[in-house]
A and B are shown apart, each in its own frame.
Chain A
């Protein structure tokens, strides 16, 4: 793999905005969508990423069963009130759509950094924008990217299981809004009727014990780009648990087990020295001297701190997410692909549990944050 600098397209920002990526530039004026370079892979390297993604998914399935069989939810700071519903949905397998593994890959070894299993974003740029970039700039080359087709196919598969319409809830940044609406788009192409709704607009009708939309229609199928640990901590959280047997929530609540970073320590415990995993512990760094401390709950690098020689060197440990409950996972620092001061993390997407494509985020440091640049890729 190598990073190759190129001249961006003329008026690239207008092009990507027209294609759906309105957040192409960060607040400081630096590009978020960065096509001043691309990452080139060999076909063999892509095969390795695909195989690693599928293998880690297998390990995660086994870890999920282990967590429930050995009652380890409390250890992961998952609220005990959610335990029964997590167990039920794990067994009944209600519809689940997607997830993203963040991988370190330096051209030699691939290592799992974390699993964004509940509310992954960055899908528009991975599925759509970099594909159009490839078609325009390198039409003869290839890209690990079948996200769009797999999403539409998955929605078609879900038609018999989801009552219509499917509601799409969000309540965050413009990035979240774009991700939700891209998923709505794929759902509609898969044959579903969809309705967007802000999370704060979701209504609770007490007399009928059900969630309703702004027109008082019952919400029975609900994709939410909103983490379960937030949902459960809010006023309607108990209602979500009470009514789960008559409503499809996507992603399902059992994804709390995979989106929780304690999963990393449990994976290592169950598969010590696995070539795709990094040493990770819940009780401290143990013998690690270069490691990353991550809150059990959190996204976009929030609360993550990098330690080298046991000294905190990078990160914002002070902005610890509330839901982390003061608990962390301590994971060995992984070697990242680096070039010219840029470090790259691969986001490897799964649709319906299958590898489906990837996106690359670049940072100046080690931690991927919400301002880390998205850089397209191709393979030859």
Chain B
């Protein structure tokens, strides 16, 4: 019945250091032009303009209009369409019990 060895904890102990303020970092998404410069999102959302603009997911940038996005994945809007928030609204109580 008795445990025969230690209970080594690595991840849990480390995570408790960050238990407050934890949040997933939202994925960055930028609408860019053919030169990779950030433009307003409506350029990517408007199908009549869509040929010249696309979203970049991830990548590094200061996030201002006109900044260049370095790295990241560029895909067409259709291919990259991902919706979120379809889970996680709960039912007003505790998920665990």
* Residues of chain B contacted by A291 (CB below 8 angstroms): none
Of A30-38, A84-92, A166-174, the segment with at least 4 beta carbons within 8 Å of chain B is A166-174
Q: Please give the number of chain B residues whose Cβ is less than 8 angstroms from any Cβ of chain A in the complex.
A: 44
> CB-CB contacts of A282-303 with B at 8 A, as 1s and 0s?
0000000000000000111010
Partner of B88, one of A127, A171, A185, A212: A171
- Decide: A146 near B3, CB < 8 A? Known: A226-B95, A239-B86: yes
Q: Is the CB of A171 within 8 A of B90?
A: yes
The tally of CB-CB contacts under 8 A between chains A and B is 181
- Decide: A323 near B91, CB < 8 A? Known: A142-B1, A205-B81: yes
A12 at the interface (CB under 8 A from B): no
> For chain B residues 42-79, which have a beta carbon within 8 Å of chain A?
57-58, 73, 78-79
B35 at the interface (CB under 8 A from A): no
Partner of B12, one of A149, A185, A298, A370: A185
CB closest residue in chain A, given B58: A215
> CB-CB contacts of A191-206 with B at 8 A, as 1s and 0s?
0001011111111111
Q: Is the interface of B mostly helix, strand, loop or mixed?
A: loop
CB closest residue in chain A, given B22: A177
Q: Is the CB of A182 within 8 A of B12?
A: yes
Q: Shortest Cβ distance from B14 into chain A, in angstroms?
A: 9
Partner of B15, one of A181, A227, A229, A233: A181
- Decide: A206 near B27, CB < 8 A? Known: A174-B19, A177-B19: no
> CB-CB contacts of A120-153 with B at 8 A, as 1s and 0s?
1110100110011000000000111110110000
CB closest residue in chain A, given B11: A185
- The CA of A128 and the CA of B23, in the complex, are separated in Å by 25
A311 at the interface (CB under 8 A from B): no
CB closest residue in chain B, given A129: B7
* Residues of chain B contacted by A176 (CB below 8 angstroms): 94-96
- Decide: A216 near B86, CB < 8 A? Known: A19-B9, A121-B96, A175-B94: no
Q: Is the CB of B3 within 8 A of A200?
A: no
* Residues of chain A contacted by B26 (CB below 8 angstroms): 201, 214
* Residues of chain B contacted by A206 (CB below 8 angstroms): 81-83
* Residues of chain B contacted by A194 (CB below 8 angstroms): 11
Q: Is the CB of A214 within 8 A of B27?
A: yes
Return 9 A-B CB contacts under 8 Å, by A number: A18-B16, A146-B3, A148-B7, A172-B90, A172-B96, A177-B22, A181-B12, A201-B88, A299-B97
Besides A131-B3, A321-B92, 10 other A-B contacts (C-beta < 8 A): A116-B97, A119-B95, A119-B96, A128-B9, A146-B3, A175-B94, A199-B87, A199-B88, A200-B84, A203-B84
Seen from chain B, the residues whose Cβ lies within 8 Å of a Cβ on chain A are 1-5, 7-13, 15-16, 19, 22-27, 57-58, 73, 78-97
